Each structure stands twice: as C-alpha cells, then as structure tokens.
C-alpha cells in the first residue's frame, strides 16, 4: 500500500545527513561534556559547534542559545523563568488563546498562582491583532508570549510588529517558533524577540531536544537545579547526539528555504483545491498568512478521528483537532477560539506537508478522500443528505 | 490503540442506517463531546427486536460500539436487550482504550432510550 | 596510545545492542507517539514496551514509570512535585549532605522559598545513619530523599531501612538510584521506596533520557505544562529512540549483574591496592559498603585537575572532586561533608570501572601513575619530600 | 579546553623548583580554592632578575601561568617585571578558559609578592 505522510506538524522523519552526524556521538565519542579528559572535550566541542549552528540559523550569538529537551521545556523555562525573575517588577503576562499547551497551560497555572494573565482572543483566521497587544500592555506587564505560527491552522502572527511594541515598552517578548523553523524565515533581530523556542523534531531533527534563544541581557530565573550545564539554566547531562542533530538539522532547515517552501506550497494549494471541492467543507486558518505546508479543513457532518483512521487504513497519515484525538472531552482550543462551532471543530483534519511529499501523494489523497467522506456521512445522524 | 474487533466494526459496521417504520428511536450524546448515536428499532408483537439500525457521528469507538450492540441484541427480547451494559459492549469488542470508556461507550444508553421510546409509543397506542 | 576509560560514573559508552534497537526509531519509525495513525501507534507501542522493561527491571508496574530527560529532571520533578502536592500537610524535607546537586540544590532552593529543610550529615565514609533520619522526622515531614549510592565515593546507603522507617510514618521516600542501576540490585519493593530516579547514560544507554518510578498512590503535582504525555506529569514529545534505548539498556544492565559486579570489583580492588601503595594516599568512601566499580583516592600534595590531565595525556580518563573541575571555587561538597580537609579533597581522584575494563587497563594505570604523582609533587610547594 | 601553549607549559614547565639562596620569595593562593603558587627570586645588584623558580600546587592553568611568568621576566629588571599583569600572562598563553581567569591566574600576584619580599629584605640590609 502507498504510504503518504502528511503530519509534519506533529513530527518529521529524521534527515539521513543529520543521523550521520549524530552517530559518532552515539558510538565512539560517548564522553560526558562536563569531563575534562579527551572524551569529555570531544563531546563539549560538538555541543559548542551545534550551538554556533543554531545561533547562525537564527541570527543570534552562540552564547544566547540554551539547549533543552524540547520546546515544551523551553516554553516552561521561559514563562516560569521570566515570571520569577521579574516578579518584583510586575505580575502581568500577556499571551494568546491559540498558543500551544506548553505556553497556554503554563500561563493558566501562573494565573492560579496569583499572576494576572491576559489571554488575547484571535479573529476567525486565528490571528492575534497587534492593537490588542498594545491595548493589553500595562505598567505591570513582565512578559508577552505569542507564537510565530500556529501548529493547528498554520496562521502566521505579526511577531515583528508585536516585538517592536514590546521593545519600546521594555517588556521581554517571547515567541514559540516551533512550527516556523524551516518553513518561513526566522531571525531574532528581524522579529524583535527576546526569547524564542524551537524543537528539533519539527524540522527533520531528533526528538527530545530543543533550544531556547535568550537575548543577551534578558533576565531569567533558574527553574531546574543540578549541575552547571547550560550556564546552570538547564542542568543535566547533555543529550550530546541530540544536540549535534539539532545543530545539523537547523543548518539544513534554513538552507534553500524559499524554493523548498514554494514547492510545498504548490502541493498544498493543490490539495486544498481538491479537498474544498468536496461539498460541505471549509478551510480553517488564514487564507494567505499561513505556513506553506499547512492545510486545515473541516469536513462537516463527520468526526475527525473516524476520518484519520479511515485515511490511515489507506496509508495516509494526518491529524485532527477533534476531542477524540486530544485526550480531553473538548475539541481543539485553537479552533474553538477561532469561533468554530463544535461540529465543525470535531470534523477538522490537518494535513501538514513536508519536503518529501510529491504530486503523486496529493493525487492519491484526492482520489481516496471522497469515498471516505461519503461513507462516514452515510453513517452520520446529523447529515441530512445522507438519509435515504 | 484499538482491538481488531473494534477496527472490524468500524470498517464494516453492521446494521447502519435508518428504519423508516421504526417503532422505537433513541439518541444519546451531544455535539460538544463529539459523539451522537441514534438507534432505530423495529420491535414485534412478542417484544422481540426484529430489526435494529443505527447512525453515529463519532470516533471509531463510537461507531464500533453502536455496530456491536445492534449485532448483540438483534433477535433478542427487549427485556434481555435492556440487560446489556456499555461495559459488556466494550468487552465484546475486546476492550476499549481507557479514555474512550467514558466518552464513546454510549451504545447501551442509546438502545435503552430507543426501547423506552418504543414502550412510550406502545403505551400511547393503548 | 592505549586508551583506558575509567570514568563510568560520569557516563558510559552506548551498548551496541541498545543502539541497534534505537536505530529503527531514528529512521523509519519516526512517528509522534501521540498521533493515532500507524506511524504514531508504532512509536507508542515502542514506548510502552520500554516502560514494561524498566518496570520489570525495578520490580515495579509499567504505569509507575514516567520517562524524563534524565535524572536531573526526575529529581527536580520529585522534590518540587511532592513539595507542592503535600504543602498543606507540612513543609519539612529531609535530605543528606552528599546528594547530587539535582537533589541538594533543589532542596536548598525550596529552603529559600520557605520550606524547612534538614540536611543530614554523613560519617567519614559518606554514610547517612538510619537513626539520624529517624530523629529528623517530624509531624511536618513530607519528603525524605536519600541517594542509593553516592556518585563520588560510591558509598551505598541503608535505603531499605530508611524506607521502612518512612513507610511506618507514612512519609513519601525518594531515592536517587542513578549510580546503582546495573551495579547493585535495585528493587523498589525491597528498598521500600516510593520514588526513584535513574538516568540511562549511566548504564550504557543513551544520554538525555531517564525515568522516575512513582509508586501507585503517591501524590505528585504537575511541574511542567504542555501536552498530555506521560500522564501529564512530563509533557513534551517523547524522545522515542532514547526511551527505547533506556528500556533495552536497563534490561541488559540487570542481566547477570552478580558476575559482572564481581569481575569489576576484582579489578577495582587490584587498582585500589596498587594506588594505595603509593605513599601519602588515602581511600575515600566506605571500605565495604561501596559500589563495585568505584575507587576514590586522595593523592596528597597534588591537585586533582593536574592529575586528570596528566593521566589524560597517557590516555586514561578519570575524574576528581577538585574545585578546578567543578566549576565552583570549592571542592566537592561530598568530600567536604565527609570531613576531608581542603587539600585532601583537592587531590582526590575518582576511578569508576565498567564492563569493558580489563586487567591490562589496571596494569597500565598502575604503571604510569607513580611517575605522574612524583612529577606533580616535585612541583608542589606543600610537599616536603619534594624539596631537593 | 586549554590552549596548546598552556598544555606545553603544563607538561614542560620552565623553571620549576626552589632557589636555595633566593633573595625574594612570594606566595599567593590558599588551600581553600586549591591553588598555591610560590615564586623564588635571585635579583642581582642591578635589580635584574637573574634567576627565578616556582613551585605550584594547582590545576594546569595555575602551573602554566607560573611557568609562563618565570619565562617572561627572567633577565628583566624588577621594575619591568612589576608591570606584568595576570591578564598579560593569560594572553601570552593564548588565553585561559573563563572560569580559570579568576581562580588560577595569580602568577603576577605571586611575582609581585616575591619582589616586595626582595625589596623588604634589601631595606633591612641597609
Ligand atoms: C547520583 C546522581 N544523580 C543525578 C545525576 C544526574 O543525571 P543526569 O545528568 O543524567 O540528569 C547524576 C549524574 O550526573 C548522578 O550521579
Ligand atoms: C507550537 C508548538 N509549541 C510547542 C510544541 C512542543 O514541542 P515538543 O513536544 O517537542 O516539546 C509543539 C509541538 O508539539 C508545537 O507545535
């Protein structure tokens, strides 16, 4: 059976070149980077080279990069670390209603601990407005955290403008850039950000490793305690092979970004056109300000998990914002924040394209999709067209 | 994630559809949690379920439990059918993933509602 | 040049069988375990198999294992998670003066936040006394955390007895078992522990992955926020390959433990005898209750880093508790807690043996060591014998 | 970690030892932080450092900076020798790792103490 992977926003296949660079650090160069003997120095050098690579990719300095176990940790470190470091200055945090849970839930937790948290709404396309940020800022604001691109609907936020605003007000500004790296240009100076999170496995790197960019001079409290690794901001023996992989992966991700993105966008547009030709379907996310590989559609009258599994039986991998796939009883908070009704949210499908996808992949999806939708609709008590 | 039996009932659901002249219809679930099950019954003079059909909006577990229960109670008396529990349905399918036990395991409730509807209809007719 | 690695307490070489099991999860099986399609299910199944393996090795149930990015995280999660979960019950925490910084510094941080922390002293061998724990427990005690085996001097603590005591008093008991796994038997029931931390790279597994054992019924507050992974106690996309590696590594580590340990102990004893034959040397750690592979000696009148680098130039890798290698100005808090004077602490060397070491390795160390010591002593202003 | 120059001076330190008839001796450091440097001077009539030796207890950086400074000032006048700073010594070695800049970079201080000791000895003799 044909296998078509269209879930690159969930994770990506490790690039072979990346694995090749990692392997020596999974075999002969196994030293602990904190050791001062030759084994340790070899590992240390590899980490510092990876740090340079990440910094170069982001337009940052090497000493501004802190390696973590992923973006979840980088986001938690940011929010808790800033909240604690600046507690004396204020207690107000601004974020958006469509952030990843690693930001959203951490802010909610701080709210319970007594912080004043403003959760900005989004428009029907999932977009945060610059004016809303401006209006929300107070004298007590110590952090603004708005994602660069949304993981479900791909909407790209006006980060540079929000960053400019925060800079003028002297407020640390964080962006979760997990979905953006390798898909759109990400430069910390152009974006006016002070902190930025990323996760290697979203751009053909290994799972379990990420990084936080921390602009020089930005205060951050220690969150974890342990050894002296990563300037004590992230103690624990380093995942050396993972860090090496992250370094190589980001180097490759930002290379030829434009032509890669154009190719993916063309395939995505074709898939979009084909899927929206099925009746009772709807595009979610911003029509233009959207990641090139993202396509989120609602297929009315059917539920997302059934769709995913039906597609999976045909070898096609994608995801959904349906409650049935989220581990909670409610559908995606992102889709709900965009004003979708429950049914439309439950019937959402996210296809996310990557560098390996081909025209044939898209043709195949478009070939099998109509029958799947028809079959599930024929079972649906809410689909009138389905009554015989 | 799902057992073979669940996948079988999801991919080849038994008794999908409506019964035009049903004498009992029951629906449970709501759009919020994302599962809606509707069961149609044709109960005969002897209070035996002669025909049963369902329509379900929901995940694979919801579709499979709906399908399974129709298979379990078709040809049974309504008093026997009422004894079937959601738990039994899940067991007959070889079990369901833990998070699905609550949200998508409602078929016995839908059946119960359909039987109650049948009984109410009967009562009215008398 | 001959290479002799004697720093297994710092980290170990990844076992080839372990790497072999990891590789498919770094290549074709790259799915996100949270995805419900076939790629995701494959990754999920691998994680659950690894969980079974870890549980089996520890005598625990699979659902009691939480995967983390390492022991540093597991230790932080334990201490912060329990402190928060049981804050209403009390504010007293008991630990020891020789814990790893991931426990020690976290307890000190809680102390600053208002918790009442008792740091138990150790005897000259680095041993915590059961009676001292008994005496320290109060009605307000909510956590006792004592390591199973010390990472610097290898001293093995009376964990089963301390655990029994805590169990009787209904106090959650945590042990940092990082150095013990694969070296001595570790069974959560025999040890009477409620929480236990481990890190894969200490037993021939990959770096950047560890686990926390959490006995059923033990309350722990969420510490990180994000996705629903690891029962929400440790959110973030799982390091699938790392977790698979941890599972295999622990399976291998506990296999034939007795004969492996005996072999290593014999080599260690030979090294010990040879090194202590050099004049002005001293054994650190407990003479008997000690990890089979650990040998910590102080070489008087010389400083540890010079020793390490001199040995490194001969191809020998080991470590030291000297300040010069710790990133701080003070020598090892472990050696100081044992009552060593500064000079003896600065001149400490830790050799930690592993499964690949041979008799020839030991012979080689014993051959080069006397000259190195003599040379450094001849430079030392505190060595009287060195004056010509 | 260390530059080639540091490793060279660590493995082949210049001017190790004591000067029996030294006319200036200086020591810095303490056992707490783990570095002790002692410098012996033989200063001649013209206030030129005719001979210099050191003994150091400490890490590679401590040994290398001690060795390097003896090389730098041997044959120099004490007034020139006093101008040498710890920073210069580190630079001559191609730099030191950041954490070592503070704790193990004391050779110029030891030299200064030795020269002061020489000067005090001289003053007493007069
Ligand atoms: C006793 C002990 N606890 C905790 C740790 C921390 O482990 P990791 O650095 O893998 O997080 C170590 C190792 O450095 C250790 O030896
Ligand atoms: C926008 C965004 N932020 C954060 C994360 C968390 O990344 P990780 O799971 O690798 O920690 C993800 C991916 O799940 C994401 O899409």
Ordered by start, the domain boundaries in chain C are 4-12+257-387, 16-253
What total number of domains does chain D contain?
A: 1
pLDDT at residue number A386: 45
* Angle of CA points B108, B114, B117, to nearest 5°: 140
Closest in A301, A306, A341 to B63, CB measured: A306
Q: Report how far residue D27's alpha carbon sits from residue D33's, in angstroms, rounded to the nearest whole number.
A: 14
Put simply, whether A36 touches D (Cβ < 8 Å) is: yes
Give pLDDT tens digits for C21-75.
999 999 999 999 999 999 999 999 999 999 999 999 999 999 999 999 999 999 9
Residues of chain A found within 8 Å of residue D6, distances taken between Cβ atoms: none
Which residue, among C70, C78, C134, C128, has the nearest Cα to C99 in the 3D structure? C128
pLDDT at residue number C327: 59
Q: Count Cα neighbours of B77 within 13 Å in the Cβ-side half-sphere.
A: 4
Question: Could you identify the atom of ligand 1 that is nearest to the CA of residue C72?
Answer: 11
Q: Report how far residue A327's alpha carbon sits from residue A306's, in angstroms, rounded to the nearest whole number.
A: 15
* Angle of CA points D80, D81, D85, to nearest 5°: 110
- Of A79-93, A245-259, A317-331, A346-360, the range with the lowest mean pLDDT is A317-331
Structure tokens at A271: 């898939």
pLDDT at residue number A326: 59
Which one-letter DSSP state was computed for residue C7?
B
pLDDT at residue number A328: 63
Give pLDDT tens digits for C232-271.
899 999 999 999 999 999 999 999 999 999 999 999 999 9
How far is ligand 2, taken at its centre, from the CA of residue A196, in Å? 12
At the topology level of CATH, where does C4-12+257-387 sit?
A: 3.90.1150
Average pLDDT value for chain C: 95
With 70 as the cut, is the pLDDT of residue A329 above it?
Answer: no
Do A322 and B34 lie within an 8 Å CB cutoff? Answer: yes
Domain containing residue B86: 4-125
Ligand nearest to the CA of C104: 1
With 60 as the cut, is the pLDDT of residue A95 above it?
Answer: yes
Give pLDDT tens digits for A123-148.
999 999 999 999 999 999 999 999 99
Percent of chain D residues topping a pLDDT of 70: 99
- Of A151-160, A240-249, B56-65, B92-101, the range with the lowest mean pLDDT is B92-101
Mean pLDDT of the region C206-234: 94
Q: Report how far residue A89's alpha carbon sits from residue A96's, in angstroms, rounded to the nearest whole number.
A: 22
Active-site annotation of D, residues:
33, 103
pLDDT at residue number B104: 79
Give pLDDT tens digits for D77-126.
999 999 999 999 999 999 998 888 877 788 999 999 999 999 999 998 87
* CA distance to partner chain B, nearest, from residue C196 (Å): 26
Residue count (chain B): 126
pLDDT at residue number A155: 98
How far is ligand 1, taken at its centre, from the CA of residue B55, in Å? 56
With 60 as the cut, is the pLDDT of residue A387 above it?
Answer: no
Mean pLDDT of the region D46-67: 95
Q: Count H helices, E strands: chain B?
A: 6, 3
Whole-angstrom Cα Rg for chain C: 22
At C176, give phi and psi (nearest 5°): -90, 105
With 50 as the cut, is the pLDDT of residue C309 above it?
Answer: yes
Give pLDDT tens digits for C167-205.
999 999 999 999 999 999 999 999 999 999 999 999 999
Give pLDDT tens digits for A364-382.
999 999 999 999 999 999 9
pLDDT at residue number C387: 42
Q: Report how far residue A283's alpha carbon sits from residue A102's, in angstroms, rounded to the nearest whole number.
A: 26
| CATH class of the region A16-253 | alpha beta
D83: CATH: 3.90.1010.10
Q: CA distances (Å), C111 to each of A86, C81, C107, in order?
A: 20, 15, 6
Structure tokens at C98: 């020789």
With 80 as the cut, is the pLDDT of residue C93 above it?
Answer: yes
Q: Report how far residue B87's alpha carbon sits from residue A169's, in angstroms, rounded to the nearest whole number.
A: 59
pLDDT at residue number B125: 82
With 70 as the cut, is the pLDDT of residue A323 above it?
Answer: no
Beta-carbon contacts of C224 under 8 Å, excluding residues fewer than 6 positions away, are A72, A73, A76, A102, C77, C234, C235, C236
pLDDT at residue number A388: 37
CB distance C291 to ligand 1 below 6 Å: no
pLDDT at residue number A208: 98
Ligand nearest to the CA of C201: 1
What's the distance, Cα to Cα, between the start and end of chain D in Å?
49
With 60 as the cut, is the pLDDT of residue B87 above it?
Answer: yes
Percent of chain C residues topping a pLDDT of 70: 97
Asked if B33 is an active-site residue, the reply is: yes
Give pLDDT tens digits for B66-77.
999 999 999 999
Asked if C166 is an active-site residue, the reply is: no
């Amino acid at each position: 059976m044909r296998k078509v992977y269209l879930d690159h926003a969930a994770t990506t296949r490790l690039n072979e070149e990346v694995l090749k660079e990692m392997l020596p650090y999974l075999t002969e160069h196994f030293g602990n980077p904190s050791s001062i003997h030759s084994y340790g120095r070899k590992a240390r050098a590899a980490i510092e080279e990876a740090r340079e690579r990440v910094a170069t990719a982001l337009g940052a300095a090497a000493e501004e990069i802190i390696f973590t176990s992923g973006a979840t940790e980088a986001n938690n470190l940011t929010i808790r670390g800033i909240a604690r470091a600046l507690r004396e200055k204020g207690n107000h945090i601004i974020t958006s209603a469509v952030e990843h849970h690693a930001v959203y839930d951490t802010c909610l937790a701080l709210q319970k601990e007594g912080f004043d948290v403003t959760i900005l709404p989004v428009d029907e396309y999932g977009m945060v407005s610059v004016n809303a940020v401006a209006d929300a800022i107070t004298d007590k604001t110590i952090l603004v955290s708005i994602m660069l691109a949304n993981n479900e609907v791909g909407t790209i936020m006006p980060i540079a403008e929000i960053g400019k605003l925060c800079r003028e007000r002297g407020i640390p500004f964080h962006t979760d850039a997990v979905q953006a790296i390798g898909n759109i240009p990400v430069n910390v100076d152009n974006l006016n950000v002070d902190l930025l999170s990323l996760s290697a496995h979203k751009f053909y790197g290994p799972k379990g490793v990420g990084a936080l960019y921390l602009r020089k001079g930005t205060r951050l409290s220690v969150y974890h305690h342990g050894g002296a690794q990563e300037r004590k901001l992230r103690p624990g023996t380093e995942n050396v092979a993972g860090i090496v992989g992250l370094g190589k992966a980001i180097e490759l991700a930002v290379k030829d970004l434009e032509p890669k993105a154009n190719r993916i966008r063309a395939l995505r547009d074709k898939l979009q056109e084909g899927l929206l030709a099925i009746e009772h379907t709807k595009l979610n996310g911003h029509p233009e300000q959207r990641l090139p590989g993202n396509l989120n559609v609602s297929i009315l009258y059917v539920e997302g998990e059934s769709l995913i599994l039906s597609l999976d039986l045909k070898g096609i991998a994608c995801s959904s914002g349906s409650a049935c796939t989220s581990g909670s009883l409610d559908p995606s908070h992102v889709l709900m924040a965009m004003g979708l009704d429950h049914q439309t949210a439950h019937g959402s499908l996210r296809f996310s394209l990557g560098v390996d996808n081909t025209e044939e992949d898209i043709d195949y999806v478009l070939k099998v999709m109509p029958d799947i939708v028809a079959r599930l609709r024929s079972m649906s008590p809410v689909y009138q067209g389905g009554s015989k | 994630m799902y057992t073979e039996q669940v996948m079988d009932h999801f991919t080849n659901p038994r008794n999908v559809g409506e019964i035009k002249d049903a004498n009992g219809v029951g629906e449970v679930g709501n759009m919020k949690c994302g599962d809606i099950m509707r069961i149609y019954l044709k109960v005969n003079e002897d209070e035996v379920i002669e025909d049963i059909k369902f329509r379900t909006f929901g995940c694979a577990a919801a579709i499979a439990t709906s399908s399974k229960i129709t298979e379990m109670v078709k040809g049974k008396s309504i008093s026997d059918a009422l004894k079937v529990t959601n738990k039994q349905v899940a067991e007959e399918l070889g079990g369901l993933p833990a998070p699905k036990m609550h949200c998508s395991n409602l078929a016995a409730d839908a059946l119960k509602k359909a039987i109650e509807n049948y009984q109410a209809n009967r009562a009215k007719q008398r």
